[in-house]
């Protein structure tokens, strides 16, 4: 009982929490929507409530946990592991400045709190407990709203000076499409769900035929979720096929370039779209990547993340013992 840890994965749309034992087994979990209004205090309150719910399920008080780790969005050097201050978490409500998230949660939960980067901790979870277990080096690619990346080199997380792994902002086309980050030609500008939705919307408004937005309304979704993209693909929606194909080309180009530089043993594909489409698109993705590999007789192993939606929270819990 003394060795239970808490993990909180703070996402733009949901807060996923887990209570994890020393072997990495999840013994309690909860999921709450991320508040869309208010500010950092409201988000922190929702995080504490979601963790308490998971702790209840595990039959433990939060103050009895060995500690709680948080995987937070924002650049790794902003999500400061030492001070627990999170700055400019752009996808969260009114979070432009800095907020002492670590301190705030420590007080609410009565235990130590450590903060890390969401994508990096999810990569570490796959490395220790998931699809990357058998490898010493890997690249985690999290294909969702944006495209995030995490690195394990020589059995250890590689954070660079704090901002390593940003594969979503590798340039796959010079002077290419505008990326949500404000630059041009990034991988995320072609493969991020947000960028794909913006492109689909623009072309739909220009009169191009697609069922994407009809499906979105029919299933009562506020945006084009990965489930909506999958349904449209199943319907052989032409615009969907084209945008997914472009996304796969961009992912293959970015991953191939990254492999040329760091030559890791494996690529683990996660994230909302990555988990949903991983099995289905792994073959075309591997083919696209192969086109760019300098040494292509020895491609990296390609795996779909195996911890699913819980990977981020499990990875966050690992911060406690780091
Ligand atoms: Zn970018």
H helices present in the chain, as ranges = 40-58, 101-109, 118-129, 188-191, 193-205, 212-218, 226-234, 238-262, 272-292, 311-318
Indicate whether 1 pLDDT > 60. no
CA–CA dist 163, 273 (Å, integer): 23
Indicate whether 97 pLDDT > 90. no
Give residue 186 CA to ligand 1 midpoint distance, Å: 5
* pLDDT at res. 76: 45
More confident residue, 14 or 258: 258
Give residue 75 CA to ligand 1 midpoint distance, Å: 13
CA–CA dist 30, 60 (Å, integer): 14
Q: How confident is the model at residue 86 (pLDDT cuts 50, 70, 90)?
A: confident
pLDDT in tens, 278-314: 999 999 999 999 999 999 899 999 999 999 889 999 9
Averaged pLDDT of the chain? 93
pTM (global) more than 0.75? yes
Give residue 247 CA to ligand 1 midpoint distance, Å: 14
Give residue 168 CA to ligand 1 midpoint distance, Å: 6
Axis-axis angle for helices 238-262, 226-234 (nearest 10): 120
CA–CA dist 193, 232 (Å, integer): 14
Give residue 310 CA to ligand 1 midpoint distance, Å: 26
Indicate whether 192 pLDDT > 80. yes
Mean pLDDT across 81-95: 70
């Amino acid at each position: 009982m003394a060795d239970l840890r808490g993990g909180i994965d703070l996402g733009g749309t949901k807060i996923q929490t887990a209570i994890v034992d020393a072997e990495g087994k999840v013994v309690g979990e909860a999921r709450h929507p991320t508040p869309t209004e208010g500010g950092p205090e409201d988000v922190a309150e929702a995080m504490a409530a979601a963790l308490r719910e998971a702790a209840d399920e595990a039959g433990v008080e939060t103050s009895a946990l060995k500690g709680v780790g948080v995987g937070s969005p924002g650049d790794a050097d902003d999500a400061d592991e030492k001070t627990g201050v999170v700055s400019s978490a752009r996808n969260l409500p009114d979070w432009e400045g800095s907020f002492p998230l670590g301190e705030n949660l420590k007080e609410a939960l009565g235990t130590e709190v450590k903060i890390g980067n969401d994508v990096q901790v999810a990569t570490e979870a796959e490395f220790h407990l998931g699809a990357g277990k058998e490898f010493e080096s890997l690249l985690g690619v999290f294909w969702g709203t944006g495209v995030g990346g995490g690195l394990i080199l020589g059995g250890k997380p590689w954070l660079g000076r704090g901002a390593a792994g940003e594969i979503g902002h590798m340039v796959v086309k010079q002077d290419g499409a505008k990326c949500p980050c404000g630059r041009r030609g990034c991988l995320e500008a072609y493969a991020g769900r947000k960028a794909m939705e913006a492109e689909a919307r623009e072309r739909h408004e220009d009169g191009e035929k697609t069922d994407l937005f009809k499906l979105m309304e029919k299933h009562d979704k506020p945006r084009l979720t990965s489930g909506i993209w999958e349904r449209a693909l199943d319907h052989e929606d032409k615009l969907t096929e084209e945008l997914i194909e472009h996304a796969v080309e961009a992912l293959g180009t970015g991953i191939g370039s990254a492999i040329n530089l760091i030559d890791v043993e494996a690529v683990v594909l996660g994230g909302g779209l990555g988990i949903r489409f991983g099995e289905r698109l792994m073959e075309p993705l591997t083919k696209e990547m192969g086109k760019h590999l300098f040494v292509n007789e020895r491609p990296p192993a390609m795996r779909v993340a195996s911890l699913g939606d819980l990977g981020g929270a499990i990875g966050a819990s690992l911060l406690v013992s780091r």
